[in-house]
Structure 1
Amino acid sequence: MSLRLPFQGRWKLGRKNSLGGSSQLPKQDYEALRERCLMEGRLFEDDSFPASLSSVGSGPLLRKLPPGLQWRRPPELHSNPQFYSANAKRLDLCQGVVGDCWFLAALQALTLHQDILSRVVPLNQNFTEKYAGIFQFWFWHFGKWVPVVIDDRLPVNAAGQLVFVSSTDKHLFWGALLEKAYAKLSGSYEDLQHGQVSEALVDFTGGVTMTIKPAEAPGNLWDILTRATYSRTLIGCQTHSGERVLENGLVGGHAYTLTGIRKVTCKHGPEYLVKLRNPWGKVEWKGDWSDSSSMWELLSPKEKILLLRKSDDGEFWMTLRDFKAHFMLLVICKLIPGLLNQEVGRRWACTMQEGKWEKGSTAGGRMKSPRDTFWKNPQFLLCVWSPQEGRSFPMPCSVLVSLLQKPRHRHRNRKPHLAIGFYLFRLSKYYGDQRRLPPEFFWKNAPLSWPEAFLTEKEVSRELQLEPGTYLIVPCTSEAGRESEFLLRVFSRKHIFHEIGCSVSAVFSKEIVDQNEGQDEFFTKLFEKYPEINAVQLQKILNHMTWSSLGSTQPLFSLDACQGILALLDLNASGTVSIQEFRDLWKQLMLYQEVFHKHNSNQSGYLNRTQLRAAMRDAGIVLSDDVCLLMLIRYGGPNLQIDFVSFVHLMLRVENMEDAFQNLTQDGKGIYLQKPEWLMMTLYS
């Protein structure tokens, strides 16, 4: 487990305790190394991270290793090893002897978003075509995406079982290899023993991490989770300190992944549930709404069947109320800052500036007295504009400032961080293009924002509401003369940001493209008008949507098709869908649109038998050829081709049936249903 407790702030722009810069990683050209190995007929061996105890570490982790430790490649461990499988519906990973639950919780969250996963894990790698025992991964490292190259030798025990991360699908090895790459980036496997979920989340995305104390959470926490789960976010959480399994089944001082939320309708009223997963792949919550809880009997048979999976796989449901009582931290990593703040207008933009504190010149320390050396610190000019130009009374601008200090040692846990912070001043006049504002400025002007405490953290950040204008940001260490490099990031809707006296007059911001831009406003307006949507309203919504990937062949949803879709989504037999159910549908529709467009190569608006199987495989569904033919007969036209509307209906039905089977089966071969459950599942779906 070994979680390091973070400083609590409103917004956290992810901590990254990795190497002290990509320059400390060996420069390895993945393509050149692989081609050389193929030409020489040998498998790659990475001398910079060898298959030896030096890569494991030199501390307490060595005592956890099994006797007879060996290093083996996946083809030596399985007859049919696969790097990654898009067909695996559940990419569950299990923690090994390394105390890196924080890393595994973040990694499990990564698997819920294949587009983000594929940025970190190139999914076209394999153990067959041009296999040379070499693999590559990408991490966001101090403002840049950097590649990490490894060989595929993994530590195993005498029985050939992986000692560190493994997959529940024993033939999949992407998780174990990714952990090895992250260990190399961090210095060793030992250096993964302590950390926070937010560190790994940011290393996987370069995004913005919001940290919330559930016990002190705002009243709209459920709304925040709802927006987060349908957006491109990764969510983790941590229990209160301690390192033992509690009577309620939770593990103290442990990180979990939040994998879903659900508002269910009980006989006594609504209940708000969250679904969590233990990185161990076992040991679950034993309270209300756990796998064996009687609370499930309060739901309709269909809702119970599709939500409850009785399996000791580490995944479980609990109420939001219990979550707030038993979890210390909730960490939401989003690729754009606007989650709590519902400011509309221009897209978010980000600017990054690197700097350093040097003893004798720019390491001025904190503000202590009018005659101190604070003015010597690096100084950055920030000009902020309102995204809603032309208003008589400009609204304050949301600005997020993040200061990250560069690690000072090859091993992420070897050298402690400095205590850092930053000050913000308002500028009312132009002081010229000097290296630094003179000491007199700081004697006469009080800061608008200052550190409440200087923190020995990788990153400190603050969300600010600023009037349009010009400001000065001064990052510093708590004591003068302390040396380090840093990265300063600013997020806002519209700004210019640069270091005073820098050779470049201004560094313009980079726009952050959000694929879900405008969706939250759309959902809010829609459900203000219709809190619950029936089939007629669903038909109007779907037929007024613009299906951008489908080109000129825009689908037309019939009332019958919408009644069928609604029946699949309506778990509580109300005849309507809620905003949460519609958001779930929206995410699925976006995926179905992409795979349909990809395989509709002739732009006819239809898929044939071969194209249908390929499209379903890309969406994670594998059907036999016989079943696929039956689906074309049932959902397609006389020429055995299927249009997009029928494809949506088919995919939703198949996913429902797959979930029902997996939740009900005890042996993976069959299921038992009572007659009312059978009728509900087969007739109303």
Structure 2
Amino acid sequence: MSLGPCSICGVWKLGQRDSSQASPPLPQQDFEALLAGCLQDRCLFEDSSFPATLSSVGSGSLLRKLPPGLQWKRPPELHSNPQFYSAQAKRLDLCQGMLRDCWFLAALQALTRHQDILSRVVPLNQSFTENYAGIFRFWFWHFGSWVPVVIDDRLPVNEAGQLVFVSSAYKNLFWGALLEKAYAKLCGSYEDLHCGQVSEALVDFTGGVTMTINLAEAPGNLCDLLAQATYSRTLICCQTRSGKVKVLENGLVDGHAYTLTGLRKVTCKYGPEYLVKLRNPWGKVEWKGDWSDSSSTWELLSPKEKILLLRKDNDGEFWMTLQDFKAHFRHLVICKLTPGLLSQEVGKKWTYTVREGRWEKGRTAGGRMKAWGGTFWKNPQFLLSVWRPEEGRRSLSPCSVLVSLLQKPRHRHRTWKPHLAIGFYVFWISKDYDDRKTLPPAFFQRSAPLSKPAVFLKEKEVSQELWLQPGTYLIVPCLSEAHQEAEFVLRVFSRKHVFYEIGSNSSVVFVKEIEDQNEGQNEFFTKIFEKYPDINAVQLQNILNHMHWSSLGRAQPFFSLEACQAILAMLDLNASGTVSIQEFRDLWKQLMRYQEVFHKQDKDGSGYLNWAQLRATMREAGIVLSDDVCQLMLIRYGGPSLRMDFVSFVHLMLRAENMEEVFQNLTQDGKGIYLEKPEWLMLILYS
């Protein structure tokens, strides 16, 4: 069957056109209807709202940088076996193209660390085989709601058939390139992705709330903040100092965004050291200082720690000390995905309210608060009543409240009109007020704000976590200058509150109670972190034996001290006899996965696997063994009856995956490795 261009793809519905825009807004396209029409007509989708022409690339300097002979081709024309996405591929497999959209790519690579959120943005059931019609759909969080973006799969390539923009290290994978095209459509064009703040993309990918830390003024507990963030549901990125994108002598790129992918506490000969692991979106060009791939400082570690952490690949990923990180990077951006992780307080439900508003010249664009009065009182005013949900009783203990202010783009094209400087003020108010009327100038002349902007920022989002006594407050979002116009979205998160605009004719308030799906698990890790900053074998045994293994039914496992010592030996990188809470969280994720695959094969609930079940279970977990090796593993790790219980299965899986990682780190060609005798003995005897 041959497929040709589609005759129905120009059918799309426009939203309300803003007369101030030079181009139409994002079209509303029915993905299912378009797909069904293309399949019925046996044609490939062509998106007339974002065509395969230079107009979708841009209209400025980017056009002059394009390679000669630019073409638009579909993945099946570029590779004999194109795949949309592969779970077996390495997580960090995307490489930046000629666009300066490292901010987008750094955020995307942080997103890949959370499979559930990634699959929300990138529906992973799309392919180039089943129901293929050249049409793909992605989802972005767009100022209060998730919106679909539909594209065709025609991608810009040079004369050699190489992708001009984002590509994958695996030449047959195209999800990254197609996602970039969808994001370019959302932002106006490919050129509109040229330069940006990583916090913007993090919000668009998650709907989360970003917090930006100036590393020159980093808090003293930065290491603790990073430790909390790396084992919580957060995305972490960072940016070097502003400037021309050029490679410095130390290997870092000036004016560039990176993804923070790890934090480790290692034990050197001179004492402990905190290392951060970073990823360059280029997929190459790495740090050349201490703890770089070729640095001699690795000799300060134990052989095991060195083998498991050091990987000498020019893949753009590298380690550096926390001190060097603070010295060479300007901003750290943390995106919090769930309200339950906004603070140390652990609660079952959070209330999320979002309100939209507008600063209008002559009406509600009052500008910042000034000592002599001015027009600040004209700004939109929002009333917030907050309390703790303790059987409805008012409490005098402070409440955690997160406020986020986002400004909407003032043009269909993201970069055509820059962000304005925004901020918000918070005031306490008494009960004797008329909530039907905005507060007059006299209130602001006699009232000092509880919170105000230290500086107004030209960012897409500004946010702040506040600790407020139960009571009633006024939030006033504003621009730094009066008489400027823009639209905004104001979000409030807390355990319990009421939030609405004073004097608004609209009685609709969008409130959503969020059940944090990982709340119980987050509470579990928070309590462990508070009790055991470092976990030894006895503590590990106590934790594992007091947990309920839901998938194992009546066959609840018992972890002996010897088994916990063996597990600890495989995780304990610095031979300290303990693991950190970050390492334990990684272990816990593995245990949950092992529990599921074990339960799937243990159909009778006996708590044991025979030879055939073990082989099937390991294959499902991603490890393929020959029949003979599988039999040897059953003899080595199973009981006298040649059946394996869950604890022994955990030991086997951890050892297999650990040795697989060691092999990948040591091999140069993927076929073999060379070890010196001390390294070999250490791996065999201690791991």
Checking the alignment, whether the CA contact within 8 Å between 1:608 and 1:641 is kept in structure 2 is yes
Aligned to 1:408: 410
Pairs aligned (count): 666
SS of structure 2 residue aligned to 1:203: helix
Identity %: 79
Deviation, 1:576, is 3.4
User: Which residue of the other structure, out of 396, 399, 408, is the alignment partner of 2:398?
Assistant: 396
User: Which residue of the other structure, out of 285, 293, 296, is the alignment partner of 1:294?
Assistant: 296
Aligned to 2:14: none
User: Which residue of the other structure, out of 291, 314, 325, is the alignment partner of 2:316?
Assistant: 314
Greater CA deviation, 84-93 or 225-234? Answer: 84-93
Greater CA deviation, 405-414 or 208-217? Answer: 208-217
Query: In the TM superposition, what are the counterparts of 1:196-211 in structure 2 within 5 Å?
Result: 196-211=197-212
1:401–1:599 distance in 2 versus 1, CA, 3 Å: farther
The residue type equivalent to 2:83 in the other structure is: Q
Greater CA deviation, 671-680 or 435-444? Answer: 435-444
Residues in 2 aligned to 1:96 and 1:150: alpha-carbon distance in whole angstroms: 20
Deviation, 1:389, is 7.7
Deviation, 1:431, is 2.3
Q: Are 2:83 and 1:82 aligned? A: yes
- Relative to the length of structure 2, the TM-score reads 0.89
Residues in 2 aligned to 1:125 and 1:604: alpha-carbon distance in whole angstroms: 38
Residues in 2 aligned to 1:183 and 1:486: alpha-carbon distance in whole angstroms: 22
Aligned to 2:94: 93
Deviation, 1:668, is 1.4
SS of structure 1 residue aligned to 2:264: strand
Q: Are 2:27 and 1:42 aligned? A: no
The residue type equivalent to 2:144 in the other structure is: G
Checking the alignment, whether the CA contact within 8 Å between 2:232 and 2:341 is kept in structure 1 is no
1:604–1:170 distance in 2 versus 1, CA, 3 Å: farther
SS of structure 1 residue aligned to 2:333: strand
Aligned to 2:261: 259
Checking the alignment, whether the CA contact within 8 Å between 1:228 and 1:339 is kept in structure 2 is no
1:630–1:514 distance in 2 versus 1, CA, 3 Å: farther
Aligned to 1:115: 116
Structure 2 gap ranges (5+)? 1-19
SS of structure 1 residue aligned to 2:444: helix
Aligned to 1:465: 467
Residues in 2 aligned to 1:147 and 1:508: alpha-carbon distance in whole angstroms: 20
The residue type equivalent to 1:536 in the other structure is: V
SS of structure 2 residue aligned to 1:486: strand
The residue type equivalent to 1:40 in the other structure is: D
The residue type equivalent to 1:403 in the other structure is: L
Aligned to 2:666: 664
Deviations for 1:307-356, whole angstroms, at most 9, x for unmatched residues?
A: 11111111111111111111111111111356674234454432111122
1:124–1:263 distance in 2 versus 1, CA, 3 Å: same
Aligned to 1:212: 213
Residues in 2 aligned to 1:529 and 1:248: alpha-carbon distance in whole angstroms: 40
Residues in 2 aligned to 1:214 and 1:267: alpha-carbon distance in whole angstroms: 28
The residue type equivalent to 1:675 in the other structure is: K
Residues in 1 aligned to 2:170 and 2:319: alpha-carbon distance in whole angstroms: 23
Query: In the TM superposition, what are the counterparts of 1:229-308 in structure 2 within 5 Å?
Result: 229-243=230-244, 244-308=246-310
Checking the alignment, whether the CA contact within 8 Å between 1:155 and 1:164 is kept in structure 2 is yes
Aligned to 1:73: 74
Q: Are 2:436 and 1:434 aligned? A: yes
Residues in 2 aligned to 1:481 and 1:498: alpha-carbon distance in whole angstroms: 24
User: Which residue of the other structure, out of 571, 574, 596, is the alignment partner of 1:569?
Assistant: 571
1:50–1:496 distance in 2 versus 1, CA, 3 Å: same
Residues in 2 aligned to 1:427 and 1:511: alpha-carbon distance in whole angstroms: 26
Deviation, 1:133, is 1.1
The residue type equivalent to 1:336 in the other structure is: T
Residues in 2 aligned to 1:106 and 1:80: alpha-carbon distance in whole angstroms: 28
Query: In the TM superposition, what are the counterparts of 1:495-534 in structure 2 within 5 Å?
Result: 495-502=497-504, 507=509, 509-517=511-519, 522-523=524-525, 526=528, 532-534=534-536
1:208–1:539 distance in 2 versus 1, CA, 3 Å: same
Deviations for 1:571-608, whole angstroms, at most 9, x for unmatched residues?
A: 23344334343233123223434555567677665667
1:242–1:151 distance in 2 versus 1, CA, 3 Å: same
SS of structure 2 residue aligned to 1:668: coil
Deviation, 1:257, is 0.7
Greater CA deviation, 238-247 or 120-129? Answer: 238-247
Residues in 1 aligned to 2:476 and 2:84: alpha-carbon distance in whole angstroms: 46
Deviation, 1:639, is 8.2
SS of structure 2 residue aligned to 1:465: strand
Deviation, 1:531, is 5.3
SS of structure 1 residue aligned to 2:663: helix
Checking the alignment, whether the CA contact within 8 Å between 2:346 and 2:519 is kept in structure 1 is no
The residue type equivalent to 2:47 in the other structure is: D
Greater CA deviation, 629-638 or 559-568? Answer: 629-638
1:45–1:388 distance in 2 versus 1, CA, 3 Å: same
Residues in 2 aligned to 1:622 and 1:232: alpha-carbon distance in whole angstroms: 31
Structure 1 gap ranges (5+)? 1-18
Checking the alignment, whether the CA contact within 8 Å between 2:354 and 2:510 is kept in structure 1 is no
User: Which residue of the other structure, out of 653, 656, 667, is the alignment partner of 1:651?
Assistant: 653
Query: In the TM superposition, what are the counterparts of 1:158-169 in structure 2 within 5 Å?
Result: 158-169=159-170
Residues in 2 aligned to 1:66 and 1:625: alpha-carbon distance in whole angstroms: 53
Greater CA deviation, 582-591 or 674-683? Answer: 582-591
Deviations for 1:376-435, whole angstroms, at most 9, x for unmatched residues?
A: 332211001136689998222222212111112110001123333322221112323424
Residues in 1 aligned to 2:191 and 2:303: alpha-carbon distance in whole angstroms: 48
Greater CA deviation, 480-489 or 629-638? Answer: 629-638
Query: In the TM superposition, what are the counterparts of 1:134-149 in structure 2 within 5 Å?
Result: 134-149=135-150
Greater CA deviation, 73-82 or 209-218? Answer: 209-218
Residues in 2 aligned to 1:141 and 1:322: alpha-carbon distance in whole angstroms: 36
1:314–1:123 distance in 2 versus 1, CA, 3 Å: same
SS of structure 1 residue aligned to 2:252: coil
SS of structure 2 residue aligned to 1:329: strand
Checking the alignment, whether the CA contact within 8 Å between 1:87 and 1:621 is kept in structure 2 is no
Instruction: Quote the RMSD (CA, aligned, Å).
Output: 3.0
1:145–1:427 distance in 2 versus 1, CA, 3 Å: same
Aligned to 2:12: none
1:586–1:23 distance in 2 versus 1, CA, 3 Å: farther
Residues in 2 aligned to 1:394 and 1:246: alpha-carbon distance in whole angstroms: 53
Greater CA deviation, 400-409 or 604-613? Answer: 604-613
Residues in 2 aligned to 1:125 and 1:599: alpha-carbon distance in whole angstroms: 29
Aligned to 1:8: none
Residues in 2 aligned to 1:336 and 1:497: alpha-carbon distance in whole angstroms: 20
